[in-house]
A and B are shown apart, each in its own frame.
Chain A
Amino acid sequence: QQQVKQSPQSLIVQKGGISIINCAYENTAFDYFPWYQQFPGKGPALLIAIRPDVSEKKEGRFTISFNKSAKQFSLHIMDSQPGDSATYFCAASTLSSASKIIFGSGTRLSIRP
């Protein structure tokens, strides 16, 4: 049962463009929504995270938009760079099971120079 649905599966964006990855969840008990970035041959690393009491969080070129009523959240990468080419995972977890992170299926992002 996939509790966090992620789209698209793959995405190609021109350098300087905006990359947008979308996620939707089912479990309204989720309290924490991190995004992880994974480069080829490496382990995932935390990129940015949001709590459901805010609608947006921005860190540099990376922004998470969160819509609690729609149970959706998205990652926006502004001024996308070739170095951003990686696989991105949205994720969610709950207070009752804090160490258990449910990951989305991943989006392979390629930024064309």
Chain B
Amino acid sequence: DTAVSQTPKYLVTQMGNDKSIKCEQNLGHDTMYWYKQDSKKFLKIMFSYNNKELIINETVPNRFSPKSPDKAHLNLHINSLELGDSAVYFCASSLSGRSLYNEQFFGPGTRLTVL
């Protein structure tokens, strides 16, 4: 009965490689997000999609490209990985990003380690 799921849970890779993280939600929400949590636990939004439309695109290197094939999925592709990309990446979803009081539900996270 997982609400927001991410794969893989752990990802270890070499610098310069390209990798993808997948996210799926079964809550019927129409807004999905990607967050980055660094080693100091600081949590920062990267992207947000509403019904497959990009609505938030923070100052993120263009090596990061989100893709939403449908409103239940939001994948994150990262090109030319760098050491500084090492972090935990969280996917989240909410009923509607247009409403102020909607709770965001987070996935379990993907710990990315770039060697």
Contact = CB atoms under 8 A, between A and B. Distances in A.
Interface stretch (B35-43, B63-71, B74-82): B35-43
B34 interface: no
Interface stretch (A17-25, A42-50, A61-69): A42-50
Q: Which of B42, B103, B104, B106 has the most CB of A within 10 A?
A: B104
B48 A42 contact: no
Interface of A: 31-32, 34, 38, 41-46, 49, 51, 87, 89, 93-95, 97-101, 103, 105-106, 108
20 contacts: A34-B103, A41-B108, A42-B109, A43-B107, A43-B109, A45-B105, A46-B103, A46-B104, A51-B101, A93-B100, A95-B100, A97-B56, A98-B98, A98-B99, A99-B48, A100-B48, A103-B43, A103-B44, A105-B41, A106-B43
